[in-house]
Amino acid sequence: MPYFPNTSDDQRAMLQAIGVGSLDALFEQVPAELRLTRPLNLPAAMGELELTAQLAALAESNAPAGRAACFLGAGAYDHFVPAVVDFVAARSEFYTAYTPYQAEASQGTLQAMFEYQTLITQLTGMGVSNASLYDGATALAEAVLMALQTGGPQRRRVVVHRCVHPEYRQVLATFLRNQSAEVVEAGGYAADATATLPELDSTAACLVLSQPGFFGTVADLGPLVEQARRAGALVIVVFDPISLGVLKRPGELGADIVVAEGQSLGNPLSYGGPYLGILACREPFVRRMPGRLVGQTVDRDGRRCWTLTLQTREQHIRREKATSNICTNQGLLALRAAVYLAALGPKGLRRVAELCLQKAHYARQRLTASGRAELLLDAPVFKEFALRLKGQSVDRFLSAAAARGIYAGVPLGRWFPELSDCLLVAVTEKRTRAEIDALAKLLDDSAG
């Protein structure tokens, strides 16, 4: 079978049908300076057997997290996925119909999304959740748009604490680039309950915080929330879903809108995606919520059923009335999150969180015991912490660790040039004492 199914005869027939003499004539509307005037620089064609072998060799060069002791983090984590998650998500009823374009005919999908929303509100302590968004970063951007719409023309300042993931801040800046809004960064690497944020004034629409922060630190957000309240600004909290097994729910912290990356809830790393954006808010803001909201009702025979209660997106209502132009939700990944949370239950989630907490603290102690590395921030952490290496290159250490089957962490210099000698280490419930000890030994042996 040819790689391009439209043959020369097919192309001639299509050109004849639209009244165009040639492919060159078809593309005449593209300015000449933008058209490629040379053949594509492609290798010679191969037979199917040779091409299959080449692609297999390329695939073998990938090194998935499952082949190594993975201490990578910075927003995507190597958590255990129970077999029941794959089993349910792979059922054809869900796998082939995960988006309810004909909503009332998709009762199974709608029920699953309703269960997901219920679990997210229980997890976060918020009043209402939508049926998911694309990922954590875009969920934050959508939450800020909600706050700006709520604040009106007098409140166009967005105060973002520097403890928020740098890539989330980059995405937010992109979303707001052509909006009449000002993004102001405040604070340091970690949230500080004793700090005053002068950036919070009467023009602030919202304050964005993270718990835990990007560097893994856990802080008392209460004083910062109170500062935002006094300024009349909404509070948006970025949270780690697994951390809520041991930490206070963001709703109990006083958050108005909460967002998260849901990858850790039963979704594999998958080389970086697709992932799952979680967004929930207090009930007064439900009309500002982007995306889809599934509701429970009864049909004409009095039987329980589900429907798309709210779709404030530009495909369904006038663009000027839409809260967002987001086109869909991550239905299949949200289903996986719902199955994961239902399978673990509150006690199971707490156990996973406790294991992350205990193992991270053990790793932090082991990796700093010899003096070859020191903590960047001496603050409480959940499952992640930043180290500053002494007497050796971060890149060289990471390469040496990878050669030994250990993904030792994420270099911080990619986001913070001043931290080129630092790395971020994440420890999930999957990591063993032996793996942590091996990483500590490698750190000791590679220095000098």
Residues 282 and 137 in one domain: yes
* Domain coverage including residue 91: 83-341
> Is the domain of 420 the same as that of 318?
no
Q: Among the three residues 341, 373, 402, which one is the final residue of a domain in this structure?
A: 341
Residue finishing a domain among 287, 307, 341: 341
CA 292/CA 65 separation, integer angstroms = 33
133 and 214 in a common domain:
yes
Asked if the structure places residue 107 within a domain, the reply is yes
391: pLDDT strictly greater than 80: yes
Residue 328: band (very low, low, confident or very high) from pLDDT cuts 50, 70, 90? low
Q: What is the pLDDT of residues 340-384, one digit of tens each?
A: 999 999 999 999 999 999 999 999 999 999 999 999 999 999 999
On whether residue 441 sits in a domain, the answer given is yes
Q: Are residues 403 and 320 in the same domain?
A: no
* Chain centroid, CA 329 distance in Å: 13
Cα 419 from Cα 214, distance rounded (Å): 14
Beta-bridge partners for 324: 313
- Please report the sign of the dihedral spanned by the C-alpha atoms of residue 168, residue 173, residue 178, residue 182: positive
Same domain membership, residue 335 and residue 366: no
Considering the entire predicted model, what is its pTM?
0.88
Band of residue 62 on the pLDDT scale cut at 50, 70, 90: confident
* The pairing of beta strand 373-375 with beta strand 304-311: unpaired
**Tokens read off for 149:** 């719409």
**Which of 341, 358, 385 is at the close of a domain?**
341
CATH of the domain at 414: 3.90.1150.10
Residue 52 falls inside a structural domain:
no
How far is Cα of residue 104 from the mean position of the Cα atoms in its chain? Answer: 29
219 and 251 co-located in one domain = yes
Total residues belonging to the chain: 448
Q: Do both 212 and 240 map to the same domain? A: yes
Domain-located, residue 54: no
pLDDT at residue 8 in the model: 87
In a domain, 61, yes or no: no
Per the domain annotation, does 58 fall within a domain?
A: no
Please write the tens of the pLDDT for every residue from 270-284: 988 899 999 999 999
Q: Shortest CA distance to 311 belongs to which of 297, 298, 322?
A: 322
Q: Is residue 28 part of a domain?
A: yes
Pair (95, 71) in one structural domain = no
Q: Is residue 176, in this structure, part of any structural domain at all?
A: yes
The pLDDT of residue 3 is above 60: no
**Are residues 189 and 298 both part of a single domain?**
yes
Spatial separation of the C-alpha atoms in residues 224 and 236, rounded to whole Å: 11
The count of structural domains within the chain is: 3
Say whether both 372 and 437 belong to one domain. yes
Q: Which CATH number does the domain housing residue 114 bear?
A: 3.40.640.10
